[in-house]
Amino acid sequence: MLHLISNLLNDRKKQLEEQKDMDNKLKSAREKCPQVLIDFFLLERAINRKQCNTINASSILDYPKIIGENLTMIEKRNSELKKILELDNICDGLRRIINQ
């Protein structure tokens, strides 16, 4: 169990480091589409609250499974965002995420 928790924490640490790099690229869109960035980050906050609420409503015995699922979802979103950050028009890509 401790090994699993350690792996989950390491995975999350890697995700947070990747997000720092992505945030630096997102800064380039501040001037181009500030409202889109606001909407994107509000969506991210809503997703974070949903994930936290799922954990809070669960048994502690289910935490590893739920946290693993959350990390998988975050990884999927990060991968999608990385692709968008390589586009010429980041704003349009973010709009697609928001409107999904």
Q: Running along the chain, 100 residues long, what does each successive block of 10 average in pLDDT?
A: 77 88 89 94 95 93 91 93 92 94
Phi, psi (deg, nearest 5) at residue 21? -65, -45
pLDDT at 3: 72
pLDDT at 28: 85
- Distances in whole angstroms, Cα of residue 60 to Cα of each of 4, 47, 55, 64: 14, 21, 8, 8
pLDDT at 39: 97
pLDDT at 1: 64
Domain regions of the chain by residue span = 2-98
